[in-house]
Structure 1
Amino acid sequence: MTLPEDLFHFIWKYRLFQTTQLVTVSKKALTILDTGCHNRDAGPDFIAARLRIGETEWAGNIEIHVRASEWDIHKHDRDRAYNNVILHVVYEYDKIICREDGTFPETLVLKPLIPSYILSKYRELMSGMYWIPCEKLIHRVPDIHRSQWLSRLLIERLEQKVSAIYALLTQQRGSWEDTCYLWAARSFGFKVNTQAFEQLARILPQTILAKHKQDPQAIESLFFGQAGLLEETEFSDVYPRKLQQEYRYLRQLYSLIPMDASIWKFLRTRPSNFPSIRIAQFAALCLRSAHLFSELIDAHDISKIKSLFTELPVNPYWKRHYRFDGLSSEHGCQLGSESVNNLLINMVSGILFAYGKYIGKETYLYRAIMLLESLGVEKNAVLTRFSAIGIKASQAAESQALLQMKSFYCDKKRCLECGMGLQLIKYKE
């Protein structure tokens, strides 16, 4: 396996090598006073390092390569930015190199200084043999380190939602109500129909809904009509025929253009998650909460937030149907507890956290985190697999962190940037 330069950045940063009685290639004694700050931009790999070489103390930059010859391959010998490199750190010393000004930097060779277990663990993590790189090792990470890393991952996940919400906020010219409406619509797509729901919300602005907030049939016809689900030439059931008639009038009144119904995904979806059911539930939410953002922000306890998504005024038609003209046995048409849980996790926590950051008020940040700490774990294949290898989330805050780790670290083999990976590589046992 070819060892990447990033591994040696990691080893230098955390001093995972023999640090006493160091000697440079030119036989000068070396003492590392400060490894410097990791530089992820252009220029030397570590800046503002402090070393003692011989009897002289130096302050400057560190450049790291797998092989010394990479200095020339990367054209550092022609770049003045590397004239202030005070130490060239390499795994293998295969060539004498010099700076642009003709001087020779001192060089430290890491190969004989790195404990064998460091490279062995790294190779095991990178082997690709397991579901996640550390599947056979993760149980060795002490609980305190695991907890600290998961807490950091939770904030990272919330920050990603903040970025997405801010993008919507910019598009909506600073309107938090309209941003929340779009964010809620996306969430009602439950991954399978996320994009379709967002498109529906974009072509059905709240300004139109506000004019009909006292008329459930008008609201329902607007949602189903704009979703393209009323384009059938003829329905058998009375309910969709009434919606169709109402929509024809409203469509002409507001010059509306419906979506292509083929965008909605019904296949390989449970009936309770059919877009027709979700649209009915979302329409009911908009009927109940004309100012959803304000209600979420003003809700000071979790039970109040949950109540916004329960006992929605969904049309009774959906108790015996999953699609128009498709009679079925009687079933519930309300959001299930698992669906409500997912909306609170993926929609509400993000809105609270984003708003708190936007206005600089930590109360909403804490409220978002407390909400996640109070909710149960989502049910999905990733979390089931984590549980099978002994990593069981006890609350939504932990499950969200695990999902973040799987998508952005494990799947990309970013073990050197992962708190779990750090602990596993750093310690012999």
Structure 2
Amino acid sequence: MTLPEDILHFVWKYRLYHATQLFTVSKKTLMILDTGYQNNDAGPDFLTARIRIGDTEWAGNVEIHVHASEWDAHQHSRDKVYNNVILHVVYEDDKVIRREDGTFPETFVLKPLIPKHVLAKYRELMSGMYWIPCEKLVHRVPAFHRSQWLSRLLVERFEHKIAAIYELLAEQHGSWEDTCYLWAARSFGFKVNAQAFEQLARNLPQTVLARHRHSPQAIEALFFGQAGLLEDPLFADAYPWKLQQEYRHLRQLHALTPMDASSWKFLRTRPSNFPTIRIAQFAAVYLRSVHLFSTLIDTQDTDQLKALFEKLPVNSYWNDRYRFDVPSSRHGCQLGRHSIDNLLINMVSGILFAYGKYIGKELYIYRAIALLERLKIEKNSVLAHFSELGIQAEHAAESQALLQMKSFYCDRKRCLECGIGLQLIKYNE
């Protein structure tokens, strides 16, 4: 396995080398006072480092390579930016190099100083043999360190989510109500129909809905009609026929254009998740709370938040239908417990966190985190696999953090940036 430069950055950053007495290639004593901060942009790898070579203390930048000859291969000898490199750190010193100004930087060789377990652990993690790189090692990391890392990952996951919320907010010219409406619609799509639901919300402005908020039939007609699901020329059931007649009037009144019904996905979806059922439920949520954002912000109790999505005023037609004109056995048409928890996890907590950060009030950020800590974990194959490895999330805050770790660290083999990977490589256990 070829040694990547990243592992040398890691070794330098965390001083994972035997450091009783250090020397440069020119036999001068070396003391690392400050490794500097890692530079992820163009230029030297570590900036504003402080080192002492012999009796002289230097402040400047550090460049790191696997082989010293990469200095020339990367054209650093022709780049003035590298004239302020005070130390060239390499794994193997295979060539004498010089700066653009003709001077020679001191070179420090890491190869004989890196403990064997550091590279061995790294190679094991990078082997690609397991579901997650540390599958056979993760149990060695103390629960305290895992908990700390998961707390950081939860905030990172929120940051990832709120970036999308802020994009919507900018599109909606700073209107949190309209942003929440779009975000809620996307969330009701439950991944499979998320894009179609967002398109529906964009196609049906709240300004139009507000004019008919006291008429459940008009609201339902607007949602199903704009979804493109009332285009059937002849319905057999009375309920969709009435919606169709209502929608034809409202469409003309508000100059509306419906979506293409083909945007909705029914295949490989359980009937309770059919877009028809979800649209009926979303319309009921709107009827219950016209100003959804204000309601979410003002509701502090978790049970009261759950109650917003329970016992919704869904039309009784859906008690024995999953699609228009297609009878089925009697069933519930309310959101299930797992679906409600999913909405609280992915929709409500995201809005609370985004709003709190946007206005600079940590109260809402803490409420978002506390909400997840009071909710049960999701049920999916990723969390089930983590559980098999002995990593059991206690609540939704931890399960969200684990999903973030799997997608953004484990799957991308970013072990050197992972708190668990850091613990495994640093310590010889």
Q: Which category of TM-score, normalised to the shorter sequence, fits these structures?
A: over 0.9
Quote the offset at 1:358 in angstroms. Answer: 1.0
Could you give the per-residue CA deviations for residues 151-177 of structure 1, whole angstroms, max 9, x where no partner exists? Answer: 000000111111111110010011100
Find the counterpart in structure 2 of residue 212 from structure 1: 212
Instruction: Identify the residue that residue 252 of structure 1 maps to in structure 2.
Output: 252
CA distance in structure 2 between the partners assigned to 1:382 and 1:255 by the alignment = 46
Deviation at 1:371, TM superposition (A): 0.2
Deviation (angstroms), 1:335: 0.4
SS of 1:150's equivalent in the other structure is helix
With normalisation by structure 1, the TM-score equals 0.99
Q: Name the residue aligned to 1:68.
A: 68
Q: Which residue number in structure 2 is paired with residue 101 of structure 1?
A: 101
Alignment partners' CA distance in 2, 1:194 and 1:78 = 51
CA offsets per residue over residues 222-272 of structure 1, 9 Å max, x none?
111111111111111111111111111111111111111111111111111
Alignment of 1:294-305 (within 5 A): 294-305=294-305
Q: How does 1:228-239 map to 2 (within 5 A)?
A: 228-239=228-239
- After superposition, the C-alpha distances for 1:62-121 in whole angstroms (9 at most, x for unaligned) are 100111011011111011111111110001111110001101000011111111111111
Residue 344 of structure 1: aligned partner:
344
CA distance in 1, matches of 2:348, 2:264: 24
- Deviation, 1:4, is 1.3
The amino acid across from 1:68 in the alignment is: A
Q: 1:428 is matched with which residue?
A: 428
One-letter amino acid of the counterpart of residue 202, structure 1: R
**Counterpart-to-counterpart distance in 1, 2:137 and 2:235:** 59
Contact 1:309 1:335 in 2 (8 A): yes
Tell me the CA shift for residue 6 of structure 1.
Answer: 1.1
1:340-419 matched pairs, under 5 angstroms: 340-419=340-419
Q: Give 2:290's aligned residue.
A: 290
Residue correspondence of structure 1 range 191-210 to structure 2 within 5 A: 191-210=191-210
Secondary structure in structure 2 of the residue aligned to 1:88 = strand
Contact in 2 for aligned 1:51/1:57 (Cα 8 Å): yes
The aligned counterpart of 1:189 is: 189
How far apart in 2 are the matches of 1:387 and 1:272?
27
Code of the aligned partner of 1:125? L
Distance of 1:359 and 1:21 partners within structure 2: 51
* Residue 143 of structure 2: aligned partner: 143
Residue 83 of structure 1 aligns to a residue whose secondary structure is helix
Q: Following the alignment from structure 1 to structure 2, what is the Cα–Cα distance between the partners of residues 227 and 34?
A: 60
Root-mean-square deviation (Å): 0.7
* Cα separation, 1, equivalents of 2:142 and 2:85: 38
How does the TM-score come out when normalised to structure 2?
0.99
State the partner residue of 1:158. Answer: 158
Q: Distance in 1 between matches of 2:234 and 2:409?
A: 51
For the Cα contact (< 8 Å) 1:375–1:396, is it kept in 2? yes
Matched letter for residue 29 of structure 1: T
Match of 1:313 in 2: 313
Q: Kindly state the Cα deviation for residue 19 of structure 1 after the two structures are TM-superposed.
A: 1.4
Alpha-carbon offset, residue 288 of structure 1: 0.7
Is the Cα–Cα contact under 8 Å of residues 98 and 104 in structure 1 kept in the other structure? yes
1:305-324: per-residue Cα shift (whole Å, max 9, x none)? 11111111000000101111
Greater Cα shift, 96-105 or 231-240 = 231-240
2:130 partner SS: coil
Q: Which amino acid aligns with 1:363?
A: L
- The Cα shift of 1:416 comes to 0.5
Q: Paired residue for 1:88?
A: 88
Shift of 1:27: 1.0
Identity of aligned residues (%): 76
Secondary structure class of the residue paired with 1:269:
coil
- Pairwise CA distance, 1:196: 0.4
Paired with 1:308 and 1:74, the residues of 2 have a C-alpha distance of: 60
Q: Which runs of 5+ in 1 are unaligned?
A: none
1:185·1:197 contact (CA, 8 Å) conserved in 2? yes
Partners of 1:66 and 1:92 within 8 A in 2: yes
Tell me the secondary structure at the aligned position of residue 25 of structure 2: coil
Tell me what 1:37 maps to: 37
Q: Give the Cα separation in 2 of the matches to 1:234 and 1:7.
A: 67
Task: Name 2:224's counterpart in structure 1.
Answer: 224
Q: Does 2:114 match 1:114?
A: yes
Letter in 2 for 1:166: Y
What residue is the counterpart of 1:272 in the other structure? 272
The one-letter amino acid of 1:323's match is R
Residue 19 of structure 1 contacts residue 32 of structure 1 at CA under 8 Å; is this kept in 2?
Answer: no
The separation in 1 between residues aligned to 2:63 and 2:47, in whole angstroms, is 9
Deviations for 1:201-228, whole angstroms, at most 9, x for unmatched residues?
0000000000111111111111111111
Q: Distance in 2 between matches of 1:363 and 1:381?
A: 33
Residue pair 1:20, 1:31 contacting (<8 A) in 2 also: no
Stretches of structure 2 that go unaligned for 5 or more consecutive residues are none
Matches within 5 A, 1:9-24: 9-24=9-24
Q: Which moved more, 1:342-351 or 1:229-238?
A: 229-238
The letter of the residue matching 1:326 is V
Q: Number of paired residues?
A: 429
Partners of 1:135 and 1:306 lie apart in 2 by: 36
Q: Deviations over 1:276-297 (max 9, x none)?
A: 1000000000011000000011
Structure 1 runs of 4+ aligned residues shifted over 6 Å read none
- State the shift of 1:191 in Å: 0.5
Equivalent AA in structure 1 for residue 14 of structure 2: Y
